[in-house]
């Protein structure tokens, strides 16, 4: 996804489809190359998702009682998901910067630590949060759409709100796909801010580092027009569908497992 969103990729890193990209990367750069940066993602994912779901559940419950007592409020779900994103992205944004830089073609970084040290030394600590506002601008609507769609589908597929793995997987996958497709333009801008593509920026005579969502939007349009905003949309949807399906099914399982004794007593 990161490489397919590149605005001016190296001739050796130009791909027409997700399958072609994966095949070419594995054949020319090695089997493990697509997994570069996974360790920093795993390191941040635990605490980020713990805060994310804890905040979501608490806010959803409180807001639903206020806005629609005794019922399920879609507005409450959207607001709760948006606020939870603030905590999640504060942890995940630096990890995403490191991961995407390591995934770029001909990345100069040998390891996660080398990447962190180099970015800190050459661009300062702020580089890890250069795309934070863009990340939030993308993820707040993403999570609002994601949670509203998930809860809406649960109302129809699982109206009793019982533990139902099939409904959780299906609802999670569809919700992730809808939210991913709708927010792809923002994700392209975020990738540009995280990677600071030298070839793309130099072609427009941009010196220094690109910052801010407005500048990113303008740069993407100058380099790729309207189509540029949807680079990698297929890869993004393919990535998000299993990601959100797994996240929801695992979360709902542990929620059921940890609360089933209380439910049995009732």
Summarize pLDDT for 97-122 with one digit per residue, the tens: 898 888 888 888 888 899 999 999 98
Question: Cα-atom radius of gyration of the chain, to the nearest Å?
Answer: 20
What is the token pair recorded at 65?
Answer: 């009682």
Half-sphere exposure of 219 (CA within 13 A, CB side): 30
Tokens read off for 66: 């206020």
pLDDT of residue 150: 94
Q: What is the pLDDT of residue 149?
A: 94
Q: What is the pTM of this model?
A: 0.68
| Neighbouring C-beta atoms of residue 262, cutoff 10 Å | 8
**Residues with Cβ within 8 Å of residue 1, at least 6 apart in sequence:** 232, 235, 236, 239
Q: Which two tokens stand for residue 108?
A: 């100069």
Q: Judge whether 200 and 231 are in contact, CB under 8 Å.
A: no
In this predicted structure, what is the pLDDT of residue 153?
95
Contacts of 168 (CB under 8 A, 6+ apart): 154, 158, 245, 248, 249, 252
Confidence at residue 173, expressed as pLDDT on a 0 to 100 scale = 97
Q: Crossing angle, helix 38-67 and helix 74-103, to 10 degrees?
A: 170
pLDDT at 196: 67
Per-residue pLDDT, 158: 92
Q: Where are the alpha helices (DSSP H) in the chain?
A: 18-29, 38-67, 74-103, 112-123, 132-157, 165-182, 184-195, 198-203, 213-228, 233-265
Q: What is the pLDDT of residues 157-208, one digit of tens each?
A: 999 888 999 999 999 999 999 999 999 988 888 777 777 666 667 777 676 6
CB 49 within 8 A of CB 247: yes
Q: Chain-centre distance of CA 258, in angstroms?
A: 27
CB 175 within 8 A of CB 149: yes
Give domain limits for the chain. Answer: 141-265
Distance CA 5, CA 82 (A): 25
- Tokens representing 53 are 């779901």
Give the span between the Cα atoms of 115 and 132, in whole angstroms: 18
pLDDT in tens, the chain (266 residues): 777 777 667 778 888 888 888 898 898 888 888 888 888 888 888 899 888 889 998 998 888 888 877 667 888 888 998 899 998 989 898 998 898 888 888 888 888 899 999 999 988 988 888 878 877 887 888 988 999 999 999 999 999 888 999 999 999 999 999 999 999 988 888 777 777 666 667 777 676 677 677 888 888 888 888 888 888 899 899 989 999 999 999 999 998 888 876 666 66
| pLDDT score at 156 | 92
Query: Count of CB atoms within 10 A of residue 266's CB?
Result: 5
């Amino acid at each position: 996804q990161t490489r397919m969103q590149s605005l001016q990729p190296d001739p050796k890193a130009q791909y027409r489809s997700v399958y072609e990209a994966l095949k070419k990367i594995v054949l020319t750069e090695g089997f493990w190359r697509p997994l570069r940066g996974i360790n920093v993602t795993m390191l941040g994912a635990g605490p980020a998702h713990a805060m994310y779901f804890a905040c979501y559940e608490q806010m959803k419950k409180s807001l639903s009682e206020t806005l629609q007592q005794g019922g399920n409020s879609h507005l409450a779900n959207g607001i709760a998901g948006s606020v939870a994103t603030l905590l999640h992205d504060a942890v995940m944004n630096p990890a995403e910067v490191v991961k995407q830089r390591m995934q770029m073609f001909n990345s100069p970084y040998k390891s996660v630590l080398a990447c962190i040290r180099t970015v800190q030394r050459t661009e300062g600590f702020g580089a890890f949060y250069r795309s934070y506002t863009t990340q939030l601008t993308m993820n707040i609507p993403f999570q609002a759409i994601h949670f509203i769609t998930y809860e809406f589908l649960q109302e129809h597929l699982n109206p009793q709100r019982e533990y139902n793995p099939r409904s959780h997987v299906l609802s999670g996958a569809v919700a992730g796909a809808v939210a991913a497709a709708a927010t792809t333009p923002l994700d392209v801008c975020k990738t540009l801010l995280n990677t600071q593509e030298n070839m793309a920026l130099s072609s427009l005579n941009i010196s220094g580092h690109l910052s801010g969502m407005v500048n990113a939007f303008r740069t993407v349009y100058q380099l790729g027009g309207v189509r540029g905003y949807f680079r990698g949309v297929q890869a993004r949807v393919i990535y998000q569908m299993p990601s959100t399906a797994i996240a929801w099914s695992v979360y709902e399982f542990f929620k059921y497992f940890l609360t089933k004794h209380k439910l049995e007593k009732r």
